[in-house]
Amino acid sequence: MYTNSSLREHSKANVVYYYDNDIAGFEYGNTHDMKPYRIQLAHNAILATGLFDKLEIRRPHRASFKTMTSFHDEDYIRFLDDVNPSNISSYRGHDRYDVTVGGDCPVFDGLYDFCSISCGGSLNSAVVLNTGQADIAINWMGGLHHAKKSKASGFCYTNDIVIAILELLKLHDRVLYVDIDVHHGDGVEEAFLTTDRVMTVSFHHYTGTYFPGTGNSNKVGIGEGKLYSVNVPLKQGITDDQYGSIYKTVMAKVMERYDPSVIVLQCGADSLNGDYLGVFNLSVKGHGECVDFLRSYNKPLMLLGGGGYTPTIVARCWTNETAIAVGVDLPAELPYDILDDHLHADNIDNSFNYEIKKFYRNYNNDKKLGELQTKVLNNLNKLPHVPSVQMQPMPDNNYEELAEMRNAMREEADPDVTLPTILTDQITHHDSDFYDSERAGDDRRNESNAKRANRRSKRLTK
């Protein structure tokens, strides 16, 4: 058996998991590295391992224009709503938004819907944590940490994380954001650079030129936010033991000095060995231990997706971390050959904690890591044990907006045609229900989706 190291006293946490079947149908482009169907692979593996029985699975309410403009510029969100591959050439100066034909952030059909699903899952996660409906909320469709206020960046168009944190701040004095993606969480850090109400902590690869080129350990925040941006830049090839050591030491100090009342953890899977764009030597187990460590503090916890460009590795990673969230162990191997269509192409065996066949050269020596750790800890020790945070007026909660949306959908639905999604999403399902839907276009694991996924080719572009 492949076992997690979870502290089992928290094994009865109430976990709400968000998933929308439409997510796999979006395509950045045949040769683009970002593959939304990776989330469907993870979802199928979560179902096949029986984890759904310990989750409350919900379809998120999609984020409205009002919700997305709680952070993003209104003109930018209108652009995302209007633009499509056929009309982008008519938009003068559209390149100011960094959304183009081709490139890192291409325009594609359904772009606005894709963003509203991602943001909706994270906003809903914040709401259920704020209202006590969940101890842990999961949205693997979120975690798009590079998006800025008025432009796209690094495969990310809207920053669901910032939107979720703004919601959490309506109830919580101090929110902790932690990022274990291989890339620096620049968009989230930038959004909260000047406040002490959000601490951002990012563990990432840094050379000065590796995307996004930010995240030097000297960057610690500005004004009231000084020392509340924590950057832990790492070199190529870091191992489980090295990463786990500095991560747990730094995070223990963060929890001691900052004492957040809620935690948001971005679980980018591109920090695992074997990822198309990654350069670390982390295993599924090592990556999962980062989730396990924060879970052990028994604080309200939001788990989000992020990077991850080898879909079968993403599926393993997020299935394992879903298991950690609910406090159970996974079988040694993937059941039902759930990823067989992709395993051959990725040259990975059928186990969850797959064998690492090619290690990146490790440029992290223990002395340099020790010096980096000391520098980060010294900065954290300059903070008061519990910051004196001044609560500021915030916009009204989204709870009423979500309730109105639910009621409207109930009233408009025609029960003679099919059950409305707002009702079916609140039903507790049996495992067989997740593979065939009463809605023909709502198939969760069908031949058309598999064929669509298999048509996608892979190429490095970033």
**Three-state secondary structure of 36-58:** CHHHHHHHHHHHHCCHHHHCEEE
Q: Is the dihedral of CA 208, 376, 191, 195 positive or negative?
A: negative
All domains of the chain in start order, with CATH: 8-397+429-454 (3.40.800.20)
CA distance 139 to 17: 6
Mode of pairing for the β-strands spanning 301-304 and 198-205: unpaired
d(CA 124, CA 60): 6
DSSP string, 216-233: -TT---SGGGTT-EEEEE
Predicted local confidence at residue 439, as pLDDT: 33
Q: Which residues are part of the catalytic machinery?
A: 146
Per-residue pLDDT, 342: 63
Bridge partners, 156 (sequence order): 153
> What pTM value is reported for the model?
0.84
Whole-number Cα distances in Å, 320 to 49, 179, 277, 314, 430: 10, 17, 21, 10, 21
How far is 137 from 383, CA to CA, in rounded Å? 29
Sign for the CA dihedral angle at 218, 223, 228, 229 comes to negative
Q: Comparing C-alpha atoms, which of 229, 56, 72 is closest to residue 161?
A: 72
Residue 271 φ then ψ, to 5°: -85, 0
Evaluated on CA atoms 385, 386, 388, 394, the torsion sign reads positive
How high is the pLDDT of residue 418?
42
Extract the tokens encoding 148: 């800025």
Distance CA 334, CA 341 (A): 13
**Single-letter residue type at 269:** A
The pLDDT value recorded for residue 438 is 32
Please list, in sequence order, all residues whose beta carbon lies within 8 angstroms of the beta carbon of residue 157, skipping any fewer than 6 positions away: 80, 99, 105, 111, 114, 115, 144, 147
For residue 386, what pLDDT is reported?
A: 75
Burial class of residue 337 in the structure, from the number of CB atoms within 10 Å of its CB (0-12 exposed, 13-18 middle, 19+ buried): exposed
pLDDT tens for the chain, residues 1 to 462:
344 443 334 557 899 999 999 999 999 999 999 999 999 999 999 998 999 999 999 999 999 999 999 999 999 999 999 999 999 988 877 789 999 988 999 999 999 999 999 999 999 999 999 999 999 999 999 999 999 999 999 999 999 999 999 999 999 999 999 999 999 999 999 999 999 999 999 999 999 999 999 999 999 999 999 999 999 999 999 999 999 999 999 999 999 999 999 999 999 999 999 999 999 999 999 999 999 999 999 999 999 999 999 999 999 999 999 999 999 998 877 765 666 666 555 666 667 777 777 789 999 999 999 999 999 999 999 998 775 655 444 445 565 555 555 554 444 444 444 444 444 444 333 333 343 333 333 333 233 333 333 333 333 333
Whether the CA torsion 286, 290, 296, 300 is positive or negative: it is negative
Asked whether the beta carbons of 147 and 73 are under 8 A apart, the reply is no
Contact (CB, 8 A) for 193 and 220: no
Binding-site positions read 104, 154, 181, 183, 270, 309
What is the distance of C-alpha 90 from the center of its chain? 33
Give 342's contacts (C-beta < 8 A, 6+ positions apart): 41, 311, 312, 453
> Is the bond into 260 cis (omega within 30 degrees of 0)?
no
CA 117/CA 36 separation, integer angstroms: 12
Give the annotated binding-site residues for substrate: 104, 154, 309
